[in-house]
Homo-oligomer: A and B are copies of this chain.
């Protein structure tokens, strides 16, 4: 079965957490919105009057199923591609961690858009500075420290179990994104989370991920996505 991934074609965004899982699993998929008329097809699926129209991208078409919400897609893919444990307890735990990552991702986004996603960054620079200060003082240490602790408790190699999971891939993406958006902050902060940094470097060296990151399928970070580099926010 060939999967169809639907996501905005010009950003990594939330779709990247799904792309990383598909690439690691060497799954057969097409990134629909990056093909001709693909964005039109994506918008049509969201406006469908019956079936299960997603609220927002990303969503994945898997045969007849249309699955929306990043963590939900990973819940589905993880079970099918060896990126999650087989037991119910293991799957729920991994999904819980992915949902915690989703919460963190929303907070990363709000560093540059505290007054709302539909307003321009340029119209909320001052609040963005305050929100970013709170993010680095309180939130990033709390979230990343939590995952660092889980890695330590699990032996340091993977966040859960004895094999790579989709959550490890997502943690790589968090570190990569924060390094892009906040290079100065991250240089100062990385010593606090050595196991996370080590994990992200091991993920980047995995054969399938390494090929992917060097390919054109990996969209470069930019100032339209979740992780944005605005010099004035990187103290």
Instruction: Please give the residue numbers on chain A whose beta carbons come within 8 Å of chain B beta carbons, in ascending order.
Output: 49-50, 52-56, 64-65, 67-69, 71-72, 75-76, 89, 92-93, 95-96, 99-100, 102-103, 106, 110, 114-116, 118-119, 124, 127, 130-131, 134-135, 137-139, 143, 146, 149-150, 153
Question: How distant is the Cα of A87 from the Cα of B222 in the complex, in angstroms?
Answer: 40
Number of copies: 2
Residue of B nearest to A137 (CB): B118
Question: How distant is the Cα of A100 from the Cα of B55 in the complex, in angstroms?
Answer: 7
Verify A55–B116 contact, CB threshold 8 A.
no
Per a CB cutoff under 8 Å, which of B65, B116, B153 touches A138?
A: B116
Per a CB cutoff under 8 Å, which of B96, B127, B153 touches A68?
A: B96
Nearest-Cβ distance from residue A118 to partner chain B, whole angstroms: 5
Verify A55–B92 contact, CB threshold 8 A.
no
Residue of B nearest to A52 (CB): B93
Question: How distant is the Cα of A69 from the Cα of B116 in the complex, in angstroms?
Answer: 24
Verify B118–A134 contact, CB threshold 8 A.
yes
Verify B96–A54 contact, CB threshold 8 A.
yes
Verify B100–A103 contact, CB threshold 8 A.
no
Give the chain B neighbours of A153 by CB distance below 8 A: 49-50
Verify A143–B92 contact, CB threshold 8 A.
no
Other A-B pairs beyond A52-B93, A52-B96, A114-B114, 12, CB < 8 Å? A50-B153, A53-B149, A55-B146, A56-B100, A72-B96, A72-B99, A99-B102, A106-B106, A115-B127, A115-B130, A115-B131, A127-B127
Give the chain B neighbours of A130 by CB distance below 8 A: 115-116, 124, 127
